[in-house]
Amino acid sequence: MLGNHLLRADLLSKEQLDEALSVQQRTLKRLGDILVDGGQVTQPQLAQMMRLQTTETLYKLFSWKNGSYEFSQEDVDPARSTFDPIRAESVLLEGFRRMDEWPAVRKKVPWTDATFEPLKELDTRDLPSIDDGGLGLDGGGESEGKPTERHKLIYKLAVGGKDVQKLVDASRVGEFEALKAINDLIEWGFLKPVPPPRGAKALAQGLRKGGKTLARTGALVRMALTLMFFVATLFVVKFVAPQLGSSRAENPARRGAVARLISHDQLVRLESALELYRTEHGEYPQTLRALVDSQLVTDQDLRYPYREQYYYRRSQQGFVLLPPLD
Instruction: For residue range 229-281, list pLDDT tens digits in order.
Output: 655 655 554 554 454 444 444 455 545 666 666 777 788 888 888 888 887 77
**Residue 80, domain member (yes or no):** no
Q: Report the pLDDT value the prediction gives residue 213, as an integer from 0 to 100.
A: 46
Q: How confident is the model at residue 305 (pLDDT cuts 50, 70, 90)?
A: confident
Contact call for residues 202 and 195 (beta carbons, < 8 A): no
Q: What is the Cα–Cα distance from 112 to 115, expressed in whole angstroms?
A: 9
**Residue 39, domain member (yes or no):** yes
Q: Which of 196, 230, 253 is the last residue of a domain?
A: 196
Q: Are residues 116 and 35 part of one domain?
A: no
Lowest-confidence segment of 114-128, 133-147, 281-295 by average pLDDT: 133-147
Q: Report the pLDDT value the prediction gives residue 246, as an integer from 0 to 100.
A: 44
Q: Report the pLDDT value the prediction gives residue 220, as an integer from 0 to 100.
A: 57
Q: Are residues 173 and 228 part of one domain?
A: no
| 145-191 confidence digits (pLDDT tens) | 789 999 999 999 999 999 999 999 999 999 999 999 999 999 999 99
Q: Are residues 210 and 174 part of one domain?
A: no
Q: What is the Cα–Cα distance from 201 to 187, expressed in whole angstroms?
A: 28
**Residue 77, domain member (yes or no):** no
| 86-120 confidence digits (pLDDT tens) | 888 898 899 999 989 988 888 888 888 899 999 99
Please state, rounded to an integer, the average pLDDT across all residues of the chain.
79
pLDDT higher than 80, residue 319:
yes
- Of residues 68 and 206, which shows the higher confidence score? 68
**Residue 29, domain member (yes or no):** yes
Number of domains in the chain: 3
Q: Report the pLDDT value the prediction gives residue 171, as an integer from 0 to 100.
A: 94
Q: Report the pLDDT value the prediction gives residue 152, as an integer from 0 to 100.
A: 94
Lowest-confidence segment of 56-60, 284-288, 305-309 by average pLDDT: 305-309
- Of residues 304 and 151, which shows the higher confidence score? 151
CATH of the domain at 135: 1.10.10
Q: What is the mean pLDDT of residues 67-87?
A: 77
Contact call for residues 308 and 325 (beta carbons, < 8 A): yes
**Residue 93, domain member (yes or no):** no
Output the 3-class SS for 77-140: CCCCCCCCCCCHHHHHHHHHHHHHHHHHHHHHCCCCCCEEEECCCCCCCCCCCHHHCCCCCCCC
Q: Are residues 239 and 288 part of one domain?
A: yes
**Residue 318, domain member (yes or no):** yes
Q: Which of 170, 196, 222 is the last residue of a domain?
A: 196
Q: Are residues 304 and 214 part of one domain?
A: yes
Q: Report the pLDDT value the prediction gives residue 65, as an integer from 0 to 100.
A: 78
Q: Report the pLDDT value the prediction gives residue 132, as an integer from 0 to 100.
A: 57
- Of residues 304 and 164, which shows the higher confidence score? 164
Instruction: Tell me the helix, strand and coil percentages in the chain, rounded to 5.
Output: 60, 5, 35
pLDDT higher than 60, residue 209:
no
Contact call for residues 129 and 152 (beta carbons, < 8 A): no
Residues in Cβ contact with 225 at an 8 Å cutoff, skipping those fewer than 6 apart: none
pLDDT higher than 90, residue 64:
no
Q: How confident is the model at residue 6 (pLDDT cuts 50, 70, 90)?
A: very high
Q: How confident is the model at residue 202 (pLDDT cuts 50, 70, 90)?
A: low
Q: Are residues 317 and 204 part of one domain?
A: yes
- Of residues 232 and 316, which shows the higher confidence score? 316
Q: Are residues 205 and 318 part of one domain?
A: yes
Q: How confident is the model at residue 198 (pLDDT cuts 50, 70, 90)?
A: low
Q: What is the mean pLDDT of residues 210-220?
A: 48
Q: How confident is the model at residue 139 (pLDDT cuts 50, 70, 90)?
A: very low
- Of residues 134 and 280, which shows the higher confidence score? 280
Residues in Cβ contact with 163 at an 8 Å cutoff, skipping those fewer than 6 apart: 112, 113, 114, 115, 196
Q: Report the pLDDT value the prediction gives residue 195, as an integer from 0 to 100.
A: 87
- Amino acid at position 261, single letter: L
Domain that holds residue 39: 1-54
Q: Are residues 205 and 298 part of one domain?
A: yes
**Residue 290, domain member (yes or no):** yes
